[in-house]
Amino acid sequence: MITQHFPLKLNRRSSVISPVLLLALFFSCLVGHVRHTYAAEKISADRLLKMADDVRNPAETYTMTIGVKTSSTDQTFDVFLKGKEKTLVVVKSPAKDRGRNMLMLDRDFHAYIPNLKKSVRLSLAQKMSGEVSNGDIARTRWHGDYTATLEKEDDKDAVLFLEGNKPMLTYQKIRLWVDKQNARPSRAEFLGLDGKTVLKRARYTEYKNIAGSLRPTTLVIEDVTGKSSTISILKMEKSDLADSVFTLQNLEKVR
């Protein structure tokens, strides 16, 4: 640690250092120490990814209301999440789509078809609407699903390369930009299996105080042709949810 030396001015009438000068010297050293400690701390890629998850997800269990806007549709959903393995997505609007609810259990994704009166299995990677895939809404946590390595960094951001360590994820490989100071994700590239081909790009924007902290309330997803869709968080709150919420029986009847 670099130590700064400050010239001490003595009172002409005594050799006692001025209390004001002592206080200023103390806080100068304290601030220098804090900055040095932060600069010296090397956060692992895995820990930074977990911190980015915590920015996006307020608790282990929570609910949110979201809007999904594409070039041709405008939809609203209530989303119930418990850990990263259980998600219930309930369609609220438009009215014609009510009842077409979706349930994720681990990486199994079920969609209920009211006119058939049965649920069908889909993949997390399948398109839900516009450029939005099922997993963009149903599986919101990266940590545990991906192995993170630090690809590069600058003064502001760390760029993490995420490689899926489980089958049937929404995206098997992701490049993620995370602010090193506060772990806020800013943008991502969703990649093909070769880890080079960009399938979609995403931006995490409009950070607002919601569910007790600053979180991105808008996710813009853009494909390689320039078409984009927007996921907006309209409401988010921590909640206790019973396991019975996340069943195929409940999927069929909840409105």
Per domain, the residue ranges of the chain are: 1-41, 45-253
pLDDT band at 43 (very low <50, low <70, confident <90, very high): confident
Q: DSSP secondary structure string, 54-79?
A: HHH-SSSEEEEEEEEE-SS-EEEEEE
Average pLDDT taken over every residue of the chain: 87
Length of the chain: 255
Measure CA 132 to chain center.
15
Q: DSSP secondary structure string, 11-70?
A: PTT-SPBPHHHHHHHHHHHHHHHHHHHHHH----HHHHHHHHHHHH-SSSEEEEEEEEE-
CA angle 54, 58, 61 (to 5 degrees): 115
Which tens digits make up the pLDDT trace of 156-209?
Answer: 999 999 999 999 999 999 999 999 999 999 999 999 999 999 999 999 999 999
The CATH class, in words, for 45-253 is mainly beta
pLDDT of residue 32: 42
Which tens digits make up the pLDDT trace of 96-119?
Answer: 999 999 999 999 999 999 999 999
Q: Answer yes or no: is pLDDT of 1 > 50.
A: no
Which tens digits make up the pLDDT trace of 229-252?
Answer: 999 999 999 999 999 999 999 998
Which tens digits make up the pLDDT trace of 11-37?
Answer: 434 444 455 444 444 444 443 433 332
Q: Answer yes or no: is pLDDT of 226 > 60.
A: yes
pLDDT of residue 19: 53
Q: How far apart, in whole angstroms, are the C-alpha atoms of residue 36 and residue 7? A: 22
Which tens digits make up the pLDDT trace of 127-157?
Answer: 999 999 999 999 999 999 999 999 999 999 9
pLDDT of residue 18: 56
Q: How far apart, in whole angstroms, are the C-alpha atoms of residue 46 and residue 129? A: 31
Please name the residues in contact with 12: beta carbons below 8 A apart, sequence gap of 6 or more: none
